[in-house]
Amino acid sequence: MQVNHILSALKEKINPNFSLFFKSLVFIVSLFLIFYTLNNKDELTGNYFFEILNSWKINSWMIYLAILLMPLNWGIEGLKWKFLASKVEKTSFLSALEGVICGTTFGFITPHGLGDYLGRILIMRSAERSKALGAIFISRIAQFYSTIYFGSISIFFLLFSWVPFSATQKKTIVITLLLFHIALPAFLFFRENILRHLEKNKRLKLFVSYFLIIKNYNLREILLVIALSASRYLIFLCQFILVINFFRVKTDLFFQFLAVPFVFLVKSIIPTIFDFGVREAAVMFIFNEEGVDLQRVLYSSLTVWLLNVVAPSVIGLFLIFRLKIKGPF
């Protein structure tokens, strides 16, 4: 199987010259894509900065608080990753945070943030760091479940009040969310049996071996990871609402607490490359029902994206050359 050959090849030592070439290539491509993406954001114009200046005079404390929540957000993710990665190698909080930020940079240039796996693993020093794939998978599943959980609450209220979904749309949405609510907890609670079954497949055996570490986390540890993921989600939520009110979007606060989880849910379910379009489309769809100034809502979405995606991705650029490409994967 071609995937197995690729995974086996990753275990071989890598030429130091290739290592430097790879790091330089990732740096250049990441830098280019960050600038390219920013240049293609239609909202990032003079009017955006003019609106910031106007809002700053009235609500500056809101944007200050939103910015202060950024290190708290990444600090929780760093703590979560330190805990999960400890099954592979003991690491400091700062090293774990480096892995998280590098993962954000790699995730920026890959569909649906899949580069996050590579960024976190390459910052590790253990000869068995490939086993951390399972730890990253658990982290992402826990974060995704938080999005599904809070997004479902949002959808429940929106279906029967604000947004005029058709009966067919309501049924499709409810069934889809129910499947997620069944599948995600089922995987977490029956992970050992599922992995044991997959191991029996000869074609999947090598691939599954990279995820066997999942069996090493007990239920209490899984629940702790979910709690940290939920805490991080709530920080995202509060941050977005602070920015919405910073830009003086005139809408009900309760509606904001429903609309933002809807946006997060849509963004998490629909795969994207370079973060184009999905968040903006979700924002315009949900807030259009309120008859607010959609441009200000888009400015809010853009600001949250700059704080939580672009800023750490830029910081991660300077950590790329610390990645350990040489040696066993």
Kindly state whether residue 108 falls inside one of the protein's structural domains. Answer: yes
Domain tally, the chain? 1
Kindly state whether residue 241 falls inside one of the protein's structural domains. Answer: yes
Kindly state whether residue 170 falls inside one of the protein's structural domains. Answer: yes
pLDDT tens track for 157-190? 887 676 677 778 778 888 888 888 888 888 878 8
Range of the domain at 291: 2-322
Name all contacts of 307-310 with Cβ < 8 Å and 24+ positions apart: 307/66, 307/67, 307/70, 307/239, 308/70, 308/73, 308/236, 308/239, 309/104, 309/108, 309/275, 310/34, 310/37, 310/38, 310/108
Kindly state whether residue 98 falls inside one of the protein's structural domains. Answer: yes
Kindly state whether residue 48 falls inside one of the protein's structural domains. Answer: yes
pLDDT tens track for 212-259? 888 888 889 999 999 999 999 999 999 999 999 999 998 888 999 999
Count of C-beta atoms within a 10 Å radius of residue 88: 20
Kindly state whether residue 207 falls inside one of the protein's structural domains. Answer: yes
pLDDT averaged over every residue in the chain: 83
pLDDT tens track for 270-306? 766 555 577 888 888 888 877 788 889 999 998 998 9
Predicted local distance difference test score (pLDDT) of residue 7: 44
- CA 272, CA 309: separation in Å to the nearest integer? 14
Kindly state whether residue 147 falls inside one of the protein's structural domains. Answer: yes
Kindly state whether residue 298 falls inside one of the protein's structural domains. Answer: yes
Pair of tokens at residue 56: 């700053």
